[in-house]
Amino acid sequence: MSNALATGVRYFEAPGIEFVVEDVPEFGLHDAEDLVAWIERIAAVHEYRIAQLTFIFCSDDYLHKLNVEYLNHDTLTDIITFDNADDADVLEGDIFISVERVADNARDLDISFRDELHRVMIHGVLHLLGYHDKDLLSQTAMRRKEDYCLSLRGF
């Protein structure tokens, strides 16, 4: 997987981190600079260096096609993370997020879109940091780690 799939409009770009809006209308990512600083803090806490993280915000259809093509999963999902790093202490990857799934999840959980979006974004980063969520025990650990990371936002 490479950044070649991230062909949409660059919404915000900082050294090492960029936000791309693929096939959805802009959705109010007003805190991009704060998000970058937060993600950099999370990487630093885990003693990782950010080489390149690309967050691609897209539709259910767009993400579903990727899920089928690359993971052979014929289901909707809120996030797919592709790790492009060659080194163990480096974050490099593409994080695809369905804005539609995030909105639906936020409604179902009765939380703000912003909080759910941040949770999903950091979920992708945690995957790149080596956290998994394939079984109940790892899902519980992942949720605790997400909550911890969310507590470090400061904005």
Where is the binding site for Zn(2+), in residues? 123, 127, 133
Domain ranges of the chain: 3-151
- pLDDT higher than threshold 60 for residue 2: no
pLDDT tens digit sequence for 37-76:
999 999 999 999 999 999 999 999 999 999 999 999 999 9
DSSP for the chain, please give it: --GGG--SEEEEEETTEEEEE-SS-----TTHHHHHHHHHHHHHHTT-EEEEEEEEEE-HHHHHHHHHHHH---S--SEEEEE--SSTTEEEEEEEEEHHHHHHHHHHHT--HHHHHHHHHHHHHHHHTT---SSHHHHHHHHHHHHHHHHT---
The hierarchical CATH code for the domain 3-151 is 3.40.390.30
Q: Is the pTM of this model over 0.85?
A: yes
Q: Taken in order 57, 60, 62, 65, is the CA torsion positive or negative?
A: positive
pLDDT tens digit sequence for 78-125:
999 999 999 999 999 999 999 999 999 999 999 999 999 999 999 999
Where is the binding site, in residues? 123, 127, 133
